[in-house]
Amino acid sequence: MSNDRGAPPWVRGVIEGFYGKPFSHQERIELLRFLGRHGFDCYVYAPKDDPRHREHWRDPYAADELSRFRELAGEAERHGIRFLYALAPGLTYDASQPDDFVLLEAKIRAVIEAGARGIALLFDDLTGDSTTLDPQLQASVIRRVYDLVTAIDDRLAFWFIGNFYCGDAAEIRGEGGFWRALYGRSALEYFAAYAQHVPASVPMLWTGPAVFSARVTEGDMKEICAMVGRPVILWDNFPVNDTLRDQLFVGPYVGRDPGIAGVLHGVVLNLMSQAAANQIPLATAAEFLSDGERYDPERALERAIEAASPSPGAARHLATFVAQHRGHPVLAGSDTAQELAALTTAAFAADDLDPQRVAALRFHLEQLRDNEAHLTAAFTDAPLLAEIAPWSRQMGRLARAALAGLDVLAGDASRDGFVSLRDESRAADHLVAATRLPGALQPFVAGAGETVDRFAELFAAIESRLEPARRW
C-alpha cells in the first residue's frame, strides 16, 4: 500500500468533524479557498452537531440547504478540492426496518446530486445500544452503501470509519484497551467482518494510537494497515478543540513521522470550531503533507503567520499571540509560551533579583498586555480577531496581574492589588500560555504531556519573593 507523496491516491485534506456549532456557509467558502491555495485536495463535511448528519440523519435536507451544498461543491471544484459528504447513521440505524436503508439511500443520492464527489460513512462514537455495533450488520451496511455509491458513479470516493477507530497493533492483538472494555468485542471481529463484506480497496479512517495521538509513527501505521488489510486514512485530531474548548491550538503540526506518507492513503485533519484561526496550524500541516522530509515546523509557523497577516507589523503582533497558544497537551514536541518561561526563570534564578532580567520580563509582559489593542489596530474587520478575542482579552488580564506583582516587588504597589488582579485573571475560562488535559480525557490519549501553565509559574515566583519583598 505504498503511495508516492503528492501523487494520487495520497489524500491531503481536512474534516469538519468536531462537536459544537458548525461552520457558517461563508466560513466554509473561505476555508475551501484557503485549502486550494495551500495544496489540500479534500474537504469532508461531517459536523457532529448538524442534526441531519447524525442524530436526525433520516430527515432530508431542505432545498435551500442542498443549494448551499451545491455552491460548496462548485467552490471546492474550482480550487481543486474534492468535496465529500459524511453521514453518521449508527446511533439509530435499525436493520429490521427496511425503510431505514431507503432513507439512507435518499440522503446519499440527494447530496451527490448536489455535487458531493464522495461519501464517507461514519460509525464513530456509538452508544452501547446501537444495532450497528454488531460487526456483521455494520459491515453489511457499509457494503450496501459502497455498492450504491459506485453504482451512481464509480469515480466517487467512498470511505468509512468503524466504532473501533484507534489503537496500536499490540493492544488490538491483545484484545485490551478502553474500546474493548466499552463494546465488549474485539476490533479484530470488525476487521474480519469488513474483510468479508467490504472490498479491500475501500479506505478506512483511523485516528492513530489513540483518539488524540501524541505521535503517529511510520511503524505504527504500517502495522495497522497490515492488520486492517485495506488503505488507511489518518483522521488526525489536530487542531480540533471540541473537548478542550478553553484552549486554542495555533501552533505548528508536529509529532508525525514523514514516513507515514509511504504507508497511508492520506491524512485529514479535524478542525477547531474557530474557522479562521484554523488557517495558521493548517498552513503548517500543508507544508508537512507536501514534503515531510524537509518540513521545518518553526519556519512553517512563521510563514503561516505572515500569510494570515495584512502587514509585517501585524505579523509581529500575531506572532506574539500565537506564541502563547502554540502548545498542546497531547502533541509530542509541542510547547507553549517558551519566551515567557525563559524570562521568568532568568528573572527569578538568583536570590537577588537582577534589574536587567526583570526589566526584560516586564517588557515582554507589556507586549502581552497591549497585544489585543495592537491586533485590533492591525487586523481591521478580520474574522480572526473575533474568534481569538476571548483569549486575547485573557492574555491582557494575566499580563496586567503579573506586572502588578512586579510592581509590588519593586515597592511601587500594594500586595492586595496584585492578589486581586491575579485572582480575577485566574478565574477566567480561556487558557493562555497554558495547556491542560482534563482527567476524563486520559483514556482517549496516547502520550499525554504534562500540564503547562506559564503564568502560574510566574505568579508562584512572585509570591515566593513577597515575604519579605525584595527591591532592586
pLDDT computed for residue 173 by the predictor = 87
Residue 360 has pLDDT above 70, yes or no: yes
Is 70 exceeded by the pLDDT of residue 3? no
3-state secondary structure of 247: coil
The pLDDT score that the predictor gives to residue 471 is 44
Q: What is Dmax (Cα atoms) for the chain?
A: 80
C-alpha–C-alpha distance, residues 291 and 6, integer Å: 8
8-state DSSP, 133 = G
Per-residue pLDDT tens digits for 19-77: 999 999 999 999 999 999 999 999 999 999 999 999 999 999 999 999 999 999 999 99
The CATH fold of domain 11-307: TIM Barrel (3.20.20)
β-strand pairing of 452-453 with 434-435: antiparallel
214-232 pLDDT, tens per residue? 999 999 999 999 999 999 9
What's the one-letter identity of residue 230? R
Query: Poorest-confidence range of 80-84, 97-101, 330-334?
Result: 330-334
Q: How far is C-alpha 149 from the geometric centre of its chain's CA atoms?
A: 29
Looking at residue 442, the DSSP 8-state letter turns out to be G
Residue among 268, 217, 195 at smallest CA distance from 16? 268
Separation between Cα atoms, residue 373 and residue 109, nearest integer Å? 50
Q: Torsions phi, psi of 291, nearest 5?
A: -160, 85
One DSSP character per residue, 356-408 reads HHHHHHHHHHHHHHTHHHHHHHHSTT-HHHHHHHHHHHHHHHHHHHHHHHHHH
For 414-464, strand residue ranges (E) read 434-435, 445-446, 452-453
What is the model's pLDDT at position 9? 57
Q: What is the rounded CA–CA span in Å between residue 28 and residue 274?
A: 11
Q: Write out the three cell numbers for 221.
A: 501505521
CATH class of the structural domain 338-464: mainly alpha
Q: Which of 187, 27, 41, 42 is nearest to 123 (CA)?
A: 187
What's residue 440's pLDDT? 86
Given a contact cutoff of 8 angstroms between Cβ atoms, the answer to whether 247 and 431 are in contact is: yes
Phi-psi category of residue 213: left, alpha or beta, with phi > 0 → left and psi -120 to 50 → alpha: beta
Q: What is the pLDDT of residues 98-152, one digit of tens each?
A: 899 999 999 999 999 999 999 999 999 998 788 999 999 999 999 999 999 999 9
Of all residues in the chain, the percent with pLDDT exceeding 70 is 96
The Cα 206–Cα 57 span in angstroms is 23
pLDDT band at 448 (very low <50, low <70, confident <90, very high): low
Alpha-helix residue ranges (DSSP H) falling in 79-162? 98-113, 135-152
Distance of alpha carbon 74 from alpha carbon 71, whole angstroms: 5
Of 174 and 323, more confident: 323
CB contact at 8 A, 13 and 270: no
HEC secondary structure over 171-204: HHHCCCCHHHHHHCCCHHHHHHHHHHHCCCCCCE
Write down the domain spans for the chain: 11-307, 338-464
Q: Count the Cβ atoms, other than its own, within 10 Å of residue 207.
A: 21
Q: What percent of the chain has pLDDT over 90?
A: 86
Residue 429 CB neighbour total at 10 angstroms: 9
Per-residue pLDDT, averaged over 402-412, amounts to: 95
pLDDT at 1: 36
80: left (phi over 0), alpha (psi -120 to 50) or beta: left
Residue 175 has pLDDT above 90, yes or no: no
